[in-house]
Amino acid sequence: MVISTPHPYTQNPFGTTISADDICNTLSFFDSWEDRYQYIIDLGKELPPIDDSYKDEEHIVRGCQSQVWIDSVYSEGTLWFQADSDAFIVKGLLGVVLAAYNGKAPGDILSFDIEEYFNNLGLMGHLSQTRGNGLRAMVKKIISVAQLTD
């Protein structure tokens, strides 16, 4: 959807008040992965809920172990995303992803090195294979939206 007036998605803290750098810096303070997981779960609690009308086949992310939905709007040259999941840790992972992509121009989304970001977080080595695949499926959905908009 393309809009020209401010949209509620622009109020999502991920990508605005919570950036990818913020998440990297905060995670670096924790010594244990148990504490890092708790921080990621807490991030998920800050994820605004997606309207139930978007919890449908069009918005579901295929390849995730849990149910995940992503919706997007294009406003004033930037893409804004809203997402939700039925699993706490996945909501947190959505926050991690949205911190990198939300409120960015499609070209910036496409040029962002998400693998380097995940490496800086040390994330992929601490997720199960199915969670890692789900995380990549979330990224793939966002990238496909950016490609269609660019």
**Domains of the chain, each with CATH number or no CATH:** 2-149 (3.90.1010.10)
- Predicted pLDDT at 74: 92
Is 24 an annotated catalytic residue? no
Q: Are 96 and 40 in contact (CB under 8 A)?
A: yes
Measure the CA–CA gap between 147 and 141, rounded to whole angstroms: 10
- Predicted pLDDT at 1: 52
- Predicted pLDDT at 6: 58
Question: Of 23, 43, 64, 138, which residue is the catalytic one?
Answer: 64
- Predicted pLDDT at 9: 81
- Predicted pLDDT at 5: 52
- Predicted pLDDT at 62: 93
Q: Are 79 and 101 in contact (CB under 8 A)?
A: yes
Which residue stretches of the chain have pLDDT < 70? 1-7
Tokens describing residue 127: 């997720």
